[in-house]
């Protein structure tokens, strides 16, 4: 038995019509026949997920840079110099 499609509030970002619905498989889709990109909402949601993944990566990279800096400071405090290759990483001081 097929469930009826549920309407979604808001407008399609591609055609600006208030014709969004929850389609099969849970995808938000535009029902306007002439819409240039009925799956635009899904594409935007997917792009937002990729942006979140990049933001998470950058946060982790920043934490790694802080760790490298702390290690350099600690090494200097006890009079130990890090290996030359340690300073050549793209992760910076």
Q: Which residues of 28-62 are buried (b: 16+ CB within 10 A; e: fewer)?
A: bbbeeeebeebbbbbeeeeeeeeeeeeeeeeeeee
CA angle 85, 60, 77 (to 5 degrees): 50
CA distance linking residue 69 with residue 87, whole number of Å: 10
For the chain, domain boundaries: 1-38, 39-93
pTM of the full predicted structure? 0.57
Q: What is the pLDDT of residues 62-92, one digit of tens each?
A: 888 888 888 888 888 888 776 554 555 555 5
């Amino acid at each position: 038995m097929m469930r009826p499609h549920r309407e979604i509030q808001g407008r399609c970002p591609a055609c600006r019509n208030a014709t969004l619905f929850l389609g099969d498989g849970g995808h938000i889709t535009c029902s306007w026949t002439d819409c240039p990109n009925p799956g635009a909402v899904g594409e935007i949601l997917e792009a937002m997920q990729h942006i979140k993944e990049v933001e998470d990566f950058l946060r982790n990279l920043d934490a790694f840079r802080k760790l490298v800096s702390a290690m350099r400071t600690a090494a200097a405090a006890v009079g130990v110099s890090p290996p030359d290759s340690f300073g050549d990483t793209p992760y910076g001081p």
